[in-house]
Amino acid sequence: MDILKYRQTLWNKEKETKEGTMKRYFVGELLPDDEIEDFFMVKSAEVRIGANKKAFFDIMLSDSSGDVNGKKWDLSEADEEELSAVRVGDIVKVRGKVTVWNNAKQVKILRIRMALPGDEAYYDVGELIKAAPEKPQDMYDYIYNRAKEIGDDDYRKIALWHLEKYKDKLMYYPAAQSNHHAQFAGLLYHIKRMLMSGDKLCDVYEAINKDMVACGVIMHDMQKINEIRANELGISDGYFEQGMLLGHIVQGVVSIDRYEKEQGMDAQKAMLLKHMILSHHYEPEFGSPKRPMFLEAELLHYLDIIDARIFDIEEALAGVPTGGFSDKVWTLENRRLYKW
């Protein structure tokens, strides 16, 4: 797979009507009882043993419109051996029927195989990958230029230093493995929209330090790059060892501490920024050992929550017709959402 070539298609390819696409069945448009045969990207895959002691194949199928779970039941030994080789990021051809399980769409797979040489004539990889709706370079430029406008020297320098250090990976990195902004260049998209929202709210609430908020937004999830393992298509297949053992919140504090010692930074400002990183998940059960203790930290948390929830709502409703309801969204308390 020529990853750089495929990455290029993601932001050079304009949105097309269904008549102008190579795919026939997009995840976001699937309906119960649809019989499908098409190519999909693998988001996750595992051969598992069911309650009946029989092996089955559990796979998350993905394209540019979303993800859908698939199951192939009652595997033979040959099936087990073949499907155990399927990896995250592979392209597979699937034939099956759309069903509903626990109020969510699921594909009952009848046949599945890996894409073969020559199959490229029947799919466009740009249609198989979920990507942020803006070009990575444009988003990076917006964030970098906003960082340059930070008036405080310490906050400006640490933000720019981290943006420059991680520029190459920011161009494709997701903001999560499976939650909000788990897409190509999703981390940049998340940071940009938080910056835009934060600037507006700081104009309303004049007591808030705008420089501190902008720096906190840029820095708050930067260490996702060292927490989540992802390829250049923005697809994650798990976590790095340090990501599992420490997590991006602790890694973020360590990164600020290292910068403070090596590059130099006012100790008080560094401590405040560390607190913003530590507290932005708010609750201990979500990874924050401290709750926010000042305005800017409180605002950072809610900017993060607002953007994550709006993203999840937009995603859930993307393929829902007017007057219809989405599948249950587990990140939103398993609510079904209404599209008016």
Query: How many residues appear in the chain?
Result: 340
Which residues lie below 8 Å from residue 91, measured CB to CB, with a gap of 6+? 39, 40, 41, 42, 114, 115, 119, 123, 125, 128
- CA 230 – CA 205 distance, rounded (Å): 38
Residue 157: how many CA atoms within 13 Å on its side-chain side? Answer: 13
Give how many domains the chain has, as a whole number.
Answer: 2
Closest by Cα among 111, 109, 85, 88 to 97: 109
Same domain? For 188 and 309 the reply is yes
Q: In 10 A of CB 281, how many CB atoms?
A: 21
Same domain? For 146 and 246 the reply is yes
Same domain? For 102 and 185 the reply is no
* 326 within some domain: no
Q: Mean pLDDT, to the nearest integer, of 208-229?
A: 97
* 162 within some domain: yes
- Residue-wise pLDDT for 264-285, tens only, equals 999 999 999 999 999 999 888 8
Same domain? For 72 and 165 the reply is no
Q: Computed from CA positions of residues 210, 212, 215, 220, in that sequence, does the dihedral angle turn out positive or negative?
A: negative
What CATH number has the domain bearing residue 12?
Answer: 2.40.50.140
* 187 within some domain: yes
248 is written with which tokens? 């991006």
* 28 within some domain: yes
What CATH number has the domain bearing residue 293?
Answer: 1.10.3210
Which stretches does DSSP call E strand in 74-217? 91-101, 104-114
Same domain? For 158 and 305 the reply is yes
Residue 178 pLDDT class (50, 70, 90 cuts)? confident
Closest by Cα among 4, 44, 305 to 171: 4
Classified as helix, coil or strand, 130 is coil
- CA 279 – CA 194 distance, rounded (Å): 16
- Which of 127, 153, 183 corresponds to the end of one domain? 127
* pLDDT in the model for residue 19: 46
| DSSP-assigned beta bridge partners for residue 294 | none
* pLDDT in the model for residue 328: 85
Same domain? For 72 and 153 the reply is no
Q: Mean pLDDT, to the nearest integer, of 127-149?
A: 95
- CA 264 – CA 254 distance, rounded (Å): 14
74-88 b/e (C-beta count within 10 Å ≥ 16 → b): ebeeebeebbeebeb
Query: What's the gap between Cα 27 and its chain centre?
Result: 17
Q: In 10 A of CB 268, how many CB atoms?
A: 9
* 337 within some domain: no
pTM of the model: 0.84
Q: Are 195 and 211 within 8 A, CB to CB? A: no
Q: What domain range includes position 19?
A: 3-127
Same domain? For 187 and 252 the reply is yes
Q: Is residue 247's pLDDT more than 80?
A: yes
Same domain? For 149 and 106 the reply is no
Between 66-75, 263-272, 317-326, the lowest mean confidence (pLDDT) is in 317-326
Q: Computed from CA positions of residues 68, 73, 79, 81, in that sequence, does the dihedral angle turn out positive or negative?
A: positive
* pLDDT in the model for residue 286: 84
* pLDDT in the model for residue 4: 45
Strands 91-101 and 66-72: unpaired
- CA 185 – CA 136 distance, rounded (Å): 6
Same domain? For 102 and 237 the reply is no
Same domain? For 59 and 153 the reply is no
Q: What are phi and psi of 195, to 5 degrees?
A: -60, -45
Residue 259 pLDDT class (50, 70, 90 cuts)? very high
